[in-house]
Amino acid sequence: MQARGHEITLVCTKNSPLEAAALDAQLSVNSFRKPARHYAFLSALMILLSLKKRGVTALMIRNTSDISLGASIAFLSFKRINVHFFMELMFQEQKQQLYRSIRYSFLSSWICSLEYMKKKVLSSTHIQPNKVCVIPSALDFSQISPFRKSEARQQLKLPGDKVLFGMIGRIDRKKRIELAILALHQLQNSDYQLLIVGEETPDSPDSYLAELQKLIQEKELEHQVRFCGFQQETGPFYRAIDALIMASDFETFGMSTIEALAHKTPVIATNSGGSKELLNQFPFGFLVEPGDASSFAKAMEKIAERIPEDLDFKTFQTYFDHQRICENIESRILSCESVR
Model confidence pLDDT, tens digit, residues 86-131: 998 888 899 999 999 999 999 999 999 999 999 999 999 999 999 9
Do residue 56 and residue 132 come from a single domain? yes
Distance CA 339, CA 5 (A): 6
Confidence of residue 38 (pLDDT cuts 50, 70, 90): confident
User: Is there a contact between 152 and 237 (Cβ–Cβ < 8 Å)?
Assistant: yes
Do residue 90 and residue 19 come from a single domain? yes
165: left (phi over 0), alpha (psi -120 to 50) or beta: beta
pLDDT mean over 285-305: 94
Count CA within 13 A, CB hemisphere, residue 228: 22
For residue 3, being part of any structural domain is answered with no
Positions of E strands within the chain: 9-13, 28-32, 58-61, 82-86, 109-112, 132-134, 163-168, 192-197, 225-229, 243-246, 267-270, 285-288
pLDDT recorded at residue 235: 94
Helix (H, G, I), strand (E, B) or coil at 157: coil
Determine the angle formed by the axes of helices 255-262 and 273-281, rounding to 10 degrees: 30
Q: What is the tally of structural domains in the chain?
A: 2
Confidence of residue 78 (pLDDT cuts 50, 70, 90): very high
Do residue 166 and residue 304 come from a single domain? yes
pLDDT mean over 256-272: 95
For residue 338, being part of any structural domain is answered with no
pLDDT recorded at residue 309: 67
pLDDT, the chain, mean? 92
Do residue 173 and residue 293 come from a single domain? yes
pLDDT mean over 69-98: 94
pLDDT at 340 over 80: no
For residue 13, being part of any structural domain is answered with yes
pLDDT at 338 over 70: no
Do residue 131 and residue 172 come from a single domain? no
For residue 340, being part of any structural domain is answered with no
pLDDT recorded at residue 339: 62
Do residue 155 and residue 28 come from a single domain? no
Task: Residue 327: give its domain's CATH number.
Answer: 3.40.50.2000
For residue 4, being part of any structural domain is answered with no
The candidate with the shortest Cα–Cα distance to 245, out of 311, 335, 183, is 183
pLDDT at 260 over 70: yes
Do residue 126 and residue 156 come from a single domain? no
Distance CA 153, CA 45 (A): 52
pLDDT mean over 222-232: 93
Do residue 43 and residue 189 come from a single domain? no
Distance CA 324, CA 320 (A): 8
Distance CA 191, CA 163 (A): 6
Do residue 97 and residue 228 come from a single domain? no
**Predicted structure pTM score:** 0.89
For residue 2, being part of any structural domain is answered with no
Confidence of residue 34 (pLDDT cuts 50, 70, 90): confident
For the ranges 95-104, 115-124, 194-203, 273-282, which has the lowest average pLDDT? 194-203
Spell out the residues 6+ positions from residue 255 whose beta carbon is closer than 8 angstroms to its own: 137
pLDDT mean over 292-303: 96
Distance CA 310, CA 199 (A): 33
Do residue 130 and residue 155 come from a single domain? no
pLDDT recorded at residue 106: 97
How buried is 137 (Cβ within 10 angstroms: 0-12 exposed, 13-18 middle, 19+ buried)? middle
Do residue 308 and residue 192 come from a single domain? yes
Do residue 232 and residue 201 come from a single domain? yes
In this structure, what are the phi and psi dihedrals at residue 28, rounded to the nearest 5 degrees? -70, 130
The range of the structural domain enclosing residue 255 comes to 143-312
Helix (H, G, I), strand (E, B) or coil at 194: strand
pLDDT recorded at residue 39: 74
For residue 268, being part of any structural domain is answered with yes
pLDDT recorded at residue 145: 82
pLDDT recorded at residue 287: 96
In this structure, what are the phi and psi dihedrals at residue 336, rounded to the nearest 5 degrees? -140, 165
How buried is 146 (Cβ within 10 angstroms: 0-12 exposed, 13-18 middle, 19+ buried)? exposed
How buried is 202 (Cβ within 10 angstroms: 0-12 exposed, 13-18 middle, 19+ buried)? exposed
Neighbours of 6 (CB within 10 A): 16
pLDDT recorded at residue 159: 95
pLDDT at 63 over 80: yes
For residue 244, being part of any structural domain is answered with yes
